[in-house]
Amino acid sequence: MKKIIQIPLPYWNERPKKCAVKAIVLHCSAQEGVPMIKLLRKLHLSSHFVIGSDGRIFQPVPEAKRAFHAGVSSWRGMNNLNHYSIGIELSSSSMGEEAYTPQQLASARSLCLDLIRRYNIPAQNIVAHSDIAPTRKPDPGKAFPWQQFAQYGIGLWYDLNDAGKVAENDVEKLLRQIGYNTDNLPAASYAFCRHFLPELVAKQHDTHRIITDIYPENFVLPKEYLPHLKACAYKFSKRY
């Protein structure tokens, strides 16, 4: 793994007692590494790590501290993921619409694998910002290679052959089984697609629209993709 460059930010506090690290949240920002940290400072926000497009890794906040990266969020029984997670920001001028660079993906893989090993983070809890805040956030975007990362044990991916092992057909129940908050079902369904069915996510060329038009208000998962959701729910129901 590349040497980690320390550029401290003051925007953090202590994790609540009994809130151990058990998740990694991946984000993206249209800013490059150092400018991104400057922007976080301006916004009074922070993340534990920032990875530039050149693969350099910066650390604004110590892992033991609670960084301000996730906001209002939930996942698999955890509310406020800032309490439980380590946040990693990736530079992406397209906000995850175009492919990430090989250098930053290599750095992200190495960093995630190191964190998973040291904190024993379950694969179910390696998530996108869009997974934990589906009504508010689109990052790290449809171009993040979740399937590729799952091959390294970073997150989970489904096997369509498992769809027949799940009797449930209710989309909302299946999404909840994976970990999504389904208070807004269209948003949760679209967040699922960002992560697991990116071909169903409309490509945006306007960065502003990416961060303001998070999901189609009337989005419904097409019926032909129900097996993908069922297979994913099966995968997330298993222990890793």
Which residues are known catalytic residues?
A: 89
CB 30 within 8 A of CB 89: no
Distances (CA, A) of 153 to 54, 57, 112, 208: 24, 21, 9, 33
CB 143 within 8 A of CB 98: yes
Cα–Cα distance for residue pair 134/220, rounded to 1 Å: 14
Q: Which two tokens stand for residue 209?
A: 């629209």
Q: How distant, in Å, are the alpha carbons of 59, 66, 110, 144, 225 from that of 199? A: 33, 34, 27, 12, 11
Q: How far is CA 205 from the centre of its chain?
A: 21
Closest CA to 125 of 240, 29, 1: 240
Which residues are paired to 127 by β-bridges?
Answer: 25
* Residues across the chain: 240
CA pair distance 45, 119, nearest whole angstrom = 24
